[in-house]
Structure 1
Amino acid sequence: MTAVPQERRVVTAIPGPKSQELQARRTAAVAQGVGSVLPVFTARAGGGIIEDVDGNRLIDFGSGIAVTSVGNSAEAVVRRASAQLQDFTHTCFMITPYEGYVAVAEALAELTPGDHAKKSALFNSGAEAVENAVKIARSFTRRQAVVVFDHGYHGRTNLTMALTSKNMPYKQGFGPFAPEVYRMPMAYGYRWPTGPQNAGPEAAAQAIDQITKQIGPENVAAIIVEPVLGEGGFIEPAKGFLPALREFATGHGIVFVADEIQSGFCRTGQWFACEDEGIVPDLITTAKGIAGGLPLAAVTGRAEIMDAAHAGGLGGTYGGNPVACAGALGAIETMKELDLNARAKAIEATMKPRLSAMAEKFEIIGDVRGRGAMIAIELVKDRTTKEPNPEATSALAGACHQEGLLVLTCGTYGNVLRFLPPLVIGEDLLGEGLDIIEQAFTRI
């Protein structure tokens, strides 16, 4: 495993000639429904750098969408996964089980919020985890309705498309969707009509009122919410919103599900973002950052809820694949050893003041928000009307890409630049990335 030099280098146009050749092959062979943010083809990656086939080295502010928090080739992940590859790649846990799956479930019981008895089931992707959380909640409560929130994102399978609030590109043309899904207002402080200070209690009161009138709490199996919204624009629900919903769920026997797929595993400076307001969910879904880039997902929760589904009712051929489980144990080892929660807080301490200073300079920045290494800026055409500015967002991302900085966009209105650097990124690369962003604003 050769270490990738931790310095930005742009030696060709981006994308370069070799990437363009590969792009031509890709266009011929890969379905066009699968998009790419930036068509540079990766040769190797690690730390805070992605090196492409043309020898360009890009600073990574995306982490494969919050997946490679420990880096793209963390020593412990590579070591443990390689050792497992030597032993066996697969038996199917539902046929002959193996220790790695059990060890991951034990680690999840230890790390997730709450000191109650917990159990886990492992899957392949975030969408599968959310879908299984719904199955488990329905099985436990003997109810059907599922409550989700505006701006929420929960996946691309049929059920999770129904749970996701954004039509384009996730739902357009793919219906009909699963029934018994109800969408409630989100405490989006920046866009709340009466101001951010009122968003938490008012949005919670509205949601509870609508659930009570439109569905009936006795019919609700689960309330599913991201403690920090990912795809919807890195929205932190205004203070008081999550605790009010948690209390309502408890009072009515509703399973409270924290979707921590993007926000979990040290990303926000805590093991899980719901810890910020002391929320203890009944079920928590994880994926992305769990296994250092290997496909793994989990539902973890109260033992009595997790045990509600009948034997054979949960599973899947690859769920909790032994190599992915080894990767997860390596990722968790790395997170503990390097104290990546503290590192995420340090990244916030560098990024937020710099971005706030840019907001003083550039009228186009309407809001700077997020926690830990999950930071975003929302771009607007006018600070008074807060009209979204997706065109500028796209142009700024493109300008950053040309300079060798990989950034992602998100948000229901396509007007949010989101920053998800690997938690192991060097301080110098972080600073250089912020310089590139500032220069892009100056130019555009």
Structure 2
Amino acid sequence: MSHASISQSISIVHPISLSHGKNAEVWDTAGKRYIDFVGGIGVLNLGHCHPAVVAAICEQAARLTHYAFNAAPHTPYIELMQRLSAFITVGYPVSGMLTNSGAEAAENALKIARGATGRTAVIAFDGAFHGRTLATLNLNGKVAPYKQKVGLLPGPVYHLPYPSTDNGMTCADALKAMERLFSVEIDINDVACFIIEPVQGEGGFLALDTEFAQALRRFCDQHNILLIIDEIQSGFGRTGQRFAFSRLGIEPDLLLLGKSIAGGMPLGAVVGRKALMDNLPKGGLGGTYSGNPVACAAALATLEVMSDKNLHAWGVAQEAAIVGRYEAWRAQQLSPYLGRLTGVGAMRGIELAHADGTPAPKQLAQLLELAREAGLLLMPSGKSRHIVRLLAPLTIEPAVLEEGLDIFQACLTQLDE
């Protein structure tokens, strides 16, 4: 099938054309079956075409396919925001707005932070990814390919090292860098917010240092700076619980949501402290498609399935399978390129590196091709595209998960020097 009519600036990881999918399996237009460890890049925690989500979409589509909420409210939007407010476990009243995507949620969070604080500066982190829109590009802690050839970006935005046991950056090092930032680069009183992922997605599934997270929360409280937590990829059960920030013992002022919020339908949200969410003038928030009724119905069905019991069971089972296999591969010295295991829960990355610890992106590219030929779809991440991020649906059948890990194992043994 020709791609001539599609912009060549879109990078495609797997040169195949998909036809249909069911849970953790997809088929291309030639009828070849693949086990899907990509999940639409973290969108399909409930798998492809979950029956409850499909039924909700069909029922809603027969009733009302669209209405702009800011023109006239509709029931699915209202019901979803009520359900989301109960699903987000924080100790304060919340309100929020629905968006079309995670990037749009981030853009609106920046507006809310500016309005609430009267300040403009934002502090983000190395390796971060918050979207592809013009403002979110500047938040991303990586230049290529996102910031190339687009000129000056909206700011001011500053970056700090991201502390994690997965990258060797300590809490003390990050705090020292933060001290330097505020003594050399920017006045604390000009900073509206920090924005951070509790587990970096594009950055390579790096889990945030707990000590730093708690120190950052205290710092923000002390200086009246908002803390925005981006759970677009790590949320909705990816780490074995509703949201990854709970693992850190902190609460956000604003929470960014997207990806697996609606079982594959385009939807995002920014939710937070009610006083913050209500600070802009009437009409300051909104959007034509934001909170589309069909997407809202899909999200309501998704939340119904995502009970704490299910999330815990799915997370424990997938984590045990991945960690068990990885430890066996390390013990067997299966491949000289098998590096660290990153992340937490079922949000795991496997690094490919040389013996001296330097990234091995060439071998990762080969692994992706070998795996695809063998029937397994994988996705790269990390600054050097040397970390495979594992995003199989949480609902994957145990036998299919093991089959996928078998393929991964076989491909690791075939990597060239």
Structure 2, unpaired ranges of 5+:
none
- Provide the secondary structure at the position in 2 that maps to 1:44: strand
- Provide the secondary structure at the position in 1 that maps to 2:307: helix
Contact 2:242 2:308 in 1 (8 A): no
The offset of 1:212, in angstroms, is 4.8
Aligned to 1:357: 328
Aligned to 2:272: 301
Contact 2:166 2:207 in 1 (8 A): no
Contact 1:335 1:341 in 2 (8 A): no
Contact 1:120 1:299 in 2 (8 A): yes
The offset of 1:381, in angstroms, is 1.5
Contact 1:356 1:368 in 2 (8 A): no
The offset of 1:338, in angstroms, is 7.0
The offset of 1:285, in angstroms, is 0.2
Q: Distance in 2 between matches of 1:422 and 1:179?
A: 36
Summarize the Cα distance change of 1:213–1:111 in structure 2 as closer, same or farther, 3 Å threshold. Answer: farther
Find out whether 1:433 has 2:404 as its counterpart.
yes
Q: 2:351 aligns with which of 370, 378, 403?
A: 378
Q: Distance in 2 between matches of 1:108 and 1:235?
A: 26
- Provide the secondary structure at the position in 2 that maps to 1:424: coil
Q: Distance in 2 between matches of 1:335 and 1:190?
A: 28
Q: 1:153 aligns with which of 129, 153, 160?
A: 129
Q: Distance in 1 between matches of 2:139 and 2:48?
A: 30
Contact 1:113 1:281 in 2 (8 A): no
The offset of 1:380, in angstroms, is 1.3
Aligned to 1:366: 339
Structure 1, unpaired ranges of 5+:
1-21
The offset of 1:178, in angstroms, is 0.9
Q: Distance in 1 between matches of 2:309 and 2:42?
A: 17
Summarize the Cα distance change of 1:43–1:338 in structure 2 as closer, same or farther, 3 Å threshold. Answer: farther
Q: Distance in 1 between matches of 2:182 and 2:26?
A: 46
- Provide the secondary structure at the position in 1 that maps to 2:280: coil
Summarize the Cα distance change of 1:166–1:326 in structure 2 as closer, same or farther, 3 Å threshold. Answer: same
Find out whether 1:44 has 2:15 as its counterpart.
no
Q: TM-score, normalised to structure 2's length?
A: 0.96
Q: 2:208 aligns with which of 225, 237, 247?
A: 237
- Measured against aligned partners, the alpha-carbon deviations of 1:216-240 in whole angstroms (never above 9, x if no partner) come to 2211111000000000111112231
Aligned to 2:360: 389
Q: Distance in 1 between matches of 2:308 and 2:320?
A: 21
The offset of 1:407, in angstroms, is 0.6
- Provide the secondary structure at the position in 1 that maps to 2:26: strand
Q: Distance in 2 between matches of 1:247 and 1:443?
A: 49
- Measured against aligned partners, the alpha-carbon deviations of 1:367-413 in whole angstroms (never above 9, x if no partner) come to 11212221111111224xx2111111111111111100011001111
Summarize the Cα distance change of 1:85–1:420 in structure 2 as closer, same or farther, 3 Å threshold. Answer: same
- Provide the secondary structure at the position in 2 that maps to 1:275: helix
Aligned to 1:81: 57
Aligned to 2:71: 95
Q: TM-score, normalised to structure 1's length?
A: 0.90
Could you say what the CA RMSD is over the residues aligned between the two structures, in angstroms? Answer: 1.4
- Provide the secondary structure at the position in 1 that maps to 2:388: strand
Summarize the Cα distance change of 1:403–1:169 in structure 2 as closer, same or farther, 3 Å threshold. Answer: same
Q: Distance in 2 between matches of 1:152 and 1:279?
A: 19
Summarize the Cα distance change of 1:357–1:212 in structure 2 as closer, same or farther, 3 Å threshold. Answer: farther
Summarize the Cα distance change of 1:270–1:204 in structure 2 as closer, same or farther, 3 Å threshold. Answer: farther
Superposition pairs of residues 131-280 of structure 1, within 5 angstroms:
131-192=107-168, 199-280=170-251
Contact 2:166 2:343 in 1 (8 A): no
Aligned to 1:110: 86
Q: Name the stretch that deviates more: 335-344 or 148-157.
A: 335-344
Contact 1:208 1:248 in 2 (8 A): no
Contact 2:378 2:388 in 1 (8 A): yes
Runs of 4+ in 1 over 6 A off after TM superposition: none
Give the count of matched residue pairs.
413
- Measured against aligned partners, the alpha-carbon deviations of 1:397-442 in whole angstroms (never above 9, x if no partner) come to 1111110001100111111111000011011111111111111111
The offset of 1:208, in angstroms, is 4.2
The offset of 1:81, in angstroms, is 1.3
Aligned to 2:283: 312
The offset of 1:40, in angstroms, is 1.9
Q: Distance in 1 between matches of 2:379 and 2:182?
A: 34
| Percent of residue pairs identical | 39
Q: Name the stretch that deviates more: 52-61 or 360-369.
A: 360-369
Summarize the Cα distance change of 1:256–1:337 in structure 2 as closer, same or farther, 3 Å threshold. Answer: closer
The offset of 1:127, in angstroms, is 0.7
The offset of 1:363, in angstroms, is 3.0
The offset of 1:299, in angstroms, is 0.2
Given residue 53 of structure 1, which amino acid in structure 2 is its aligned partner? T
Find out whether 1:420 has 2:391 as its counterpart.
yes
Given residue 355 of structure 2, which amino acid in structure 1 is its aligned partner? D
- Provide the secondary structure at the position in 1 that maps to 2:342: strand
Q: Distance in 2 between matches of 1:77 and 1:310?
A: 35
Q: Distance in 2 between matches of 1:265 and 1:242?
A: 20
Summarize the Cα distance change of 1:201–1:105 in structure 2 as closer, same or farther, 3 Å threshold. Answer: farther
Given residue 37 of structure 2, which amino acid in structure 1 is its aligned partner? F
Given residue 189 of structure 2, which amino acid in structure 1 is its aligned partner? E
Given residue 187 of structure 1, which amino acid in structure 2 is its aligned partner? P
Contact 1:255 1:282 in 2 (8 A): yes
